[in-house]
Amino acid sequence: MAAPLDVSPVGAEAIPEAVTTGLSGQRIEGRSLGQIAWLRLRRDKVAMASAVFVIFLILVAILGPFLVQNPDTYHSNLLNPTLLSPNGAFGGISLAHPFGVEPQTGRDVLSRIVNGARYSLIIGFLATALAVIIGVFFGLIAGYFGGWVDSLIARAMDVFLAFPLLVFAIALVGVLPTNASFFGISLAGNTLRIGLLIFIIGFFSWPYMGRIIRGQVLSLREREFVDAARSIGARGPYILFRELLPNLWGPILVYATLLIPTNILFEAALSFLGVGIIPPTPSWGDMLSDAVTNGYYYIDPMYMFIPGMAIFLTVMAFNLFGDGLRDALDPRTR
Amino acid sequence: MNRRKSLGLVALGATAALAVAACGSSPSTAKTTSAFDEAITKVVNPSNAKTNGTLVFDAAVTPDSTDYDNTYYAFMWDFVRLYSMPLMTYKSCPGTCGEQLVPDLATGPGVVSDNGLEWTYHIQPDVKFQNGVTVTSEDVKYGIERTFAKNILPNGPTYYQVLLAPQNATCAASMASGGNTGCYPGPYVDPSVNEMGLNAITTPNSTTIVFHLAHPFSDFNYVVAIPQSTPVLPSWDTGAHGGANFQLDPISTGPYEFQSYTLNKQLVLVRNPNWNPATDPQAKQLVNKIIVNWNMNQNTVDQDQIAGYADMDIQGLGVQTAAKDKILTTPSLKADADDAINGFLRFAYINEQVIPNVHCREAIEYAANKVTLQDAYGGSIIGGQIATTVMPPNILGYKSFDLYNAVSDPTGDIAAAKQQLSLCGKPNGFTTGLAYRSDRPQDVLAAQALEAALNQVGIKTVLSGYPTGTYYSNYAGVPAYVHSHDLGISMGGWGADWPDGYGFLDELSNGNSIAPAGNTNISEINDPTINSLFAEAANDNNAASRLAIWPQIDKDIMAQAAILPIVYQKVLLYRNPNVTNVYMDDYYGMYNYAVLGLK
């Protein structure tokens, strides 16, 4: 087995004394490719800042809902009784409501943003995981076996990429019932809807991953270590998952990171169009949609700005982190 | 463009107003500015001055049809009076005065036979179509026959199909089981002379028309006040402007006629030279031209009105959030606006089959937070005032009562709700579905407000959103679906076809209104007392005693907690200060379009 990432220099060959002790007498430590990538990543300030923000966001999504107030509590007393816009400047920003309150209901915007983060991230991560699993599996098979298998899978990917996904998602969410059971698991209401969103988003974004994996496998399968494995009698599945897959973690990690923000945006778009998360469960896309369809942007622009900003920062952080990760793992693309 | 010209006539208009004032009417008519809400109770800018101006309507929608026999939109019923003359109509005057029935083409209200089955109308002998042909009772009959051709003209109401005596025995048998086999198919299907004609309507002479009903129906005058009783010349309803294309150039008996109509884009009306004001006192012919621009963006419509590019929003549903804010915070604009009740009730159906125990339903009535619900529909200005009855105040027969302390305890009576839950045997609450239209922002907000309020007493609701287009046909209006999906609560809205208790309550609460699809009695109220009250009213030709029946039905519905009233809807309407004779007509719930002029 000879996966480059797993190369361990210790004891691999005879090491001259001058190298191990160094010119100044200090011992030069051997570094794995993973360590080198980590060093590069650590030096990339933008990527590190994005990583910190992403971790912060994940913490907010996990712990935040326990720290903020109930997102479904109405505060009609904080609204102008005639116009129903929040009293006070910038959408009713106050100590009790740092992001202001929602027009027409008076619900706390901070707690809706924090609770919305949870659903945005759950859907973004799980849909990406689904896309990665399907994409890697078919990408490996298509790239390694080639021939008619490759043609079949490549055409299937073309079909998926050409699919009018938004239209399909709207139609599918529209026709499905409010409760259903799959393989003995019965789902209802929002749980069903979230499962459905994860499935639709993940199932239709796997070809992006599949194409990249297929391209990588096409070049990897001609390498000596694959020939060597084959010559000692290794068969398809072993080569695919033990020889090729470990060499693909870099691109998988990078493209998964870049797929997450796309999927978060897609969830926001579906919620914006009214086929996402079912209210009153908060969602960033839904808040933006309310701002537009209910005309809040006119009486309270802050209410549009805050969820817009949340989506913007999240998507940008994931994208910048993904870019940094790619640069660190594969400096040639820089 | 013509508005520039019309400015020269401002002085003339003002002089006319002064002259009216001098004749002893209220001195405030001489004012050049109006006040907020003024048009709700009186005529703003009263004037009979004819101008060469053009009155411009904007619309954010397209009409279901401009054919008076084929429309069910409230604003179209208001608008078609400009080119139609039904047998009866509503008096052109402000407020509740506008709910009075007056004869239009007819010379007087219908005369009913002793058994209540025959209604006879005499029509004015000297009314002419736009082409100069004199209107006869045959033409009125032909207009009503057209409404039976549902495959060609599907949109209008179906009162004639239901109320008139069936065409023959086959039809009678078929109707009993909900079909229409053998019934009169409309004039386009069977034009043969012998079979021709709906035999439930007879025309003994050219000025008399007799309707033969299947059952007594005391509100029949209201039915013929629907634009469907407008006369139609059979020879006009052929060729390029026949059948479904009739709407492109419907023959006019009103003050205006079609000059051009680009379907769903722009409609231009010009003066009808053969219209005689003496035969049609409820309409006026003051401007040279009327233009309607269809299918615009609602925000554009609102801004056009404020900027003066358009004179009126034809939909009559009021301005949206952005314009509302601008109008209410600018005193000069506010003076040209009215915040009026438009006759609609926003409410939630509580299904008696899904939630059979009356105490459980009463718990919902008590627990609902009427303030957050009112805010969901836009608050006190464009939402409406908190409702405590099924009938809105502008309906004839309305009586105020408040069984669930909605006014005294608007944020919800938690203690009373919990007490009702104990009586129901579910002290910890229960779970039920809540249906709403997910593409209607106000319904979405109302469903959430109700969910949050009911949650406080332990009633858990599962929100289920459906598209508006199929809400009644496939989901909330299908009792089988409602039962299988446990939809105990459904959001809804209702406005009446005519302004009395029958028009408002029958479809919502009469047991025989429950339909397998497209159901409007979603609460599935089938109460012997209520049903017999409806039967009693249908047989009662005394208007005064009929009026006493409606509040009894209203109270019975509320006592069963089958409907949770939310708001009597209000709309914020803006009137261009240049427009004359503007007032709210309580029947239409918007400005009366038949009498408008320009300064």
Of B447, B452, B467, the CB nearest to A74: B452
Residues of chain A contacting B372 with CB distance shorter than 8 Å: 74, 76, 105
Distance from CA of A79 to the nearest CA of B (A): 10
Residues A272-283 have a mean pLDDT of 83
When pLDDT is cut at 50, 70 and 90, the band that residue A330 belongs to is: confident
The token pair at A7 is 């190369």
When pLDDT is cut at 50, 70 and 90, the band that residue B202 belongs to is: very high
Residues B201-228 have a mean pLDDT of 94
Does pLDDT of A177 surpass 60?
yes
Residues A82, B328: C-beta atoms closer than 8 Å: yes
Residues B176-196 have a mean pLDDT of 73
SS3 (DSSP) at A100: coil
pLDDT score recorded for residue A129: 95
Please state the φ and ψ torsions of residue B141, each to the nearest 5 degrees: -60, -45
Residues B202-214 have a mean pLDDT of 94
Please give the mean pLDDT across all residues of chain A.
Answer: 84
C-alpha triplet B497, B523, B449: angle, nearest 5°? 95
Digit-coded pLDDT (tens) for B431-461: 999 999 887 888 899 999 999 999 999 999 9
Digit-coded pLDDT (tens) for B395-417: 888 999 999 999 989 999 999 99
The token pair at B498 is 């005519």
Does pLDDT of A326 surpass 80?
yes
Q: Which of B298, B325, B451 to mutate to test the interface with A (most CBs of A within 10 A)?
A: B325
pLDDT score recorded for residue A235: 84
Digit-coded pLDDT (tens) for B2-18: 332 333 333 333 333 33
By C-alpha distance, the chain A residue nearest B462 is: A189
pLDDT score recorded for residue B282: 95
Which DSSP string do the residues of B461-484 spell out, in sequence order? EEEEEE-HHHIIIIITT-HHHHHH
Does pLDDT of A175 surpass 80?
no
By C-alpha distance, the chain B residue nearest A85 is: B325
pLDDT score recorded for residue B15: 35
pLDDT score recorded for residue A185: 67
Residues B290-307 have a mean pLDDT of 91
Beta strands across the sheet bearing B489-494: B384-386, B563-574, B337-350, B489-494, B431-437, B460-466
Q: What percent of chain B has pLDDT over 90?
A: 65
Residues A72, B455: C-beta atoms closer than 8 Å: yes
**Segment among B78-92, B333-347, B358-372, B468-482 with least mean pLDDT:** B468-482
pLDDT score recorded for residue A21: 57
Torsion of CA B496, B501, B506, B509, to 10 degrees: 110
By C-alpha distance, the chain A residue nearest B339 is: A82
pLDDT score recorded for residue B185: 87
How far apart CA A329 and CA B353 sit, in angstroms, is: 64
Residues B356-376 have a mean pLDDT of 94
Digit-coded pLDDT (tens) for B74-130: 899 999 999 999 999 999 999 889 999 999 999 999 999 999 999 999 999 999 999
Please give the mean pLDDT across all residues of chain B.
Answer: 88
Count chain A–chain B contacts defined by CB atoms under 8 A: 80
Residues B36-56 have a mean pLDDT of 93
**Is pLDDT larger for residue B90 or for residue B179?**
B90
Torsion of CA B227, B232, B237, B242, to 10 degrees: -10
pLDDT score recorded for residue A13: 55
pLDDT score recorded for residue A180: 64
For chain B, list the domains and their CATH numbers: 7-86+240-337+573-598 (3.40.190.10), 88-234 (3.40.190.10), 340-571 (3.10.105.10)
Digit-coded pLDDT (tens) for A215-242: 999 988 888 988 898 889 888 888 888 8
Q: What is the CA radius of gyration of chain A?
A: 25
Q: Is A70 on the interface with B (CB under 8 A)?
A: no
Does pLDDT of B579 surpass 70?
yes
Q: Which of A69, A78, A271, A298 to mutate to test the interface with B (most CBs of B within 10 A)?
A: A298
pLDDT score recorded for residue A329: 83
pLDDT score recorded for residue A299: 84
B325 and B300 in contact (C-beta within 8 Å)? no
| The model's pTM | 0.81
Q: Which residues of A121-151 are buried (b: 16+ CB within 10 A; e: fewer)?
A: bebbbbbbebbbebbbbbbbbbbbeeeeebe
C-alpha triplet B393, B349, B367: angle, nearest 5°? 85
